[in-house]
Amino acid sequence: MADKSSDSTDRGSESDIHWFHSFAFPDGSTVDGIKSLEIQRAEADLFFESDLAGKSVLDIGAWDGFFSFEAERRGAARVLATDHFCWSGPGWGTRDGFDFAHRALDSNVESLDIDVPSLEPAALGQFDVVLFLGVLYHVKDPYGSLEAAARMCSDQLIIETVTALHFEALPAMRLYKPGELGGDPTNFWAPNVPALKLMLNTFGFSRVEAIPSPVTQDHPLSRPRGWGFETNARKKANHRTIIRAWR
Ligand SMILES: C[S@@+](CC[C@H](N)C(=O)[O-])C[C@H]1O[C@@H](n2cnc3c(N)ncnc32)[C@H](O)[C@@H]1O
């Protein structure tokens, strides 16, 4: 694991960094992270369907920051990237990728090392658009963490998460055994869409849309209701879902 005591003046090589995000930098160099550029771009088109021009954006759990930099590229007036788990906490990641990309893109994105429960509008203000991407299933307290993301948001909250129990009409969350979901012991909970809608309505969002992530083939939300009978394997399956919610 790389040294977490990142020095933003250390210009280091991108090959020393264990990248999560992929990038194509203006100088023609590229980075192949765990997540492909193709998927990131397809996700960004869904996250940022509404115009970002002049908006303030908070990216919670930004890691290497692809979506923060993408929000800036799409015209956001101010972007704050935050993380803790992978920047200086117990996660295997570091903020070296974020710092490298920040320099390579000559970016004005701001950054703050802060964990989700510590996010407070009294200290940081609210943001027009809040990104809570790929974080919800990693936290032990998904209700409190989503509430923290929600309180930072004055208009639109965009969530990307693993979802489960698509055939349960009641709001519910599935708990995974350590390592059961993707072999990653930092994955705990996956809500179903009714649970996400209930939490978001409770936190003051009047309109909530759930759409299939481009990562998931054959997403239950893509199938017509009442489509055939569901096998136990389908009922147990998890999917990735994008939620767009408005105040
Ligand atoms: C799968 S990455 C998602 C990165 C980026 N937002 C994206 O969607 O591509 C998970 C992020 O959640 C953060 N994270 C993981 N576990 C966490 C925890 N227990 N509390 C807060 N953040 C956590 C990590 O630091 C990392 O930035």
Interstrand relation of 23-24 and 30-31 (parallel, antiparallel or unpaired):
antiparallel
Q: How far apart are CA 158 and CA 135, in angstroms?
A: 12
Residue type present at position 232: N
Report d(CA 218, CA 193) in Å as an integer.
16
> Strand 239-246 relative to strand 189-191: parallel, antiparallel, unpaired?
unpaired
Confidence check: pLDDT of 8 > 80: no
**Per-residue pLDDT reduced to its tens digit, 132-173:** 999 999 999 999 999 999 999 999 999 999 999 988 999 999
How far lies 133's CA from each of 10, 77, 213, in Å? 28, 20, 11
Q: Which pLDDT value is given to residue 247?
A: 96
Question: In the structure encoding, which two tokens stand for residue 131, read together?
Answer: 């990104």
63 lines ligand 1 (CB under 6 A): yes
pLDDT value at residue 225: 60
- Rg, Å, the chain Cα set: 18
pLDDT of residue 219: 78
User: So what's the pLDDT on residue 180?
Assistant: 94
The ligand 1 atom at the shortest distance from the C-alpha of residue 115 is 21
Q: Is the pLDDT of residue 94 over 70?
A: yes
- 220 CB less than 6 Å from ligand 1? no
Answer whether 43's CB lies under 8 Å from 28's CB: no
| pLDDT of 227 above 60 | no
The residue count of the chain comes to 247
Query: CA-based angle 102:103:109, to the nearest 5?
Result: 35
Over 50: is that where the pLDDT of 1 sits? no
Q: Whose CA is nearest to atom 3 of ligand 1?
A: 134
Q: Which residue has the higher pLDDT, 219 or 94?
A: 94
What whole-number distance in Å separates Cα of residue 160 and Cα of residue 95? 21
Cβ atoms 59, 84 nearer than 8 A: no
Q: Poorest-confidence range of 49-53, 98-102, 108-112, 132-136?
A: 49-53
**% of the chain residues with pLDDT over 90:** 80
The pair of structure tokens assigned to 3 is: 């040294």
- The DSSP line for 143-190 is HHHHHHHHHTEEEEEEEEEEE--TT--S--EEEPPTTTTTT-TT--EE
Task: Map out the domains of the chain with their CATH numbers.
Answer: 18-246 (3.40.50.150)
User: Residue 86: which of 109, 113, 105, 110 has the closest Cα?
Assistant: 113
Which tens digits make up the pLDDT trace of 29-72? 999 999 999 999 999 999 999 999 999 999 999 999 999 999 99
Average pLDDT over the chain reads: 91
Rounded to the nearest angstrom, the gap between the alpha carbon of residue 239 and the centroid of all alpha carbons in its chain is 15
Q: Determine contact, residues 172/194, Cβ cutoff 8 Å.
A: yes
State the pLDDT at residue 234.
Answer: 66
Query: Rounded to whole angstroms, how far apart are CA atoms 114 and 85?
Result: 9
Separation in Å, CA 126 to CA 91, 107, 111, 130, 135: 27, 22, 15, 9, 19
pTM for the model: 0.92
| 3-state SS assignment for residue 129 | strand
Q: Which two tokens stand for residue 115?
A: 């964990």
Q: Give the mutation target among 63, 213, 215 for probing the ligand 1 site: most ligand atoms within 8 A of CB.
A: 63
- Protein residue with least CA distance to atom 18, ligand 1: 139
Is the CB of 61 within 6 Å of ligand 1?
A: yes
User: 242 CB less than 6 Å from ligand 1?
Assistant: no
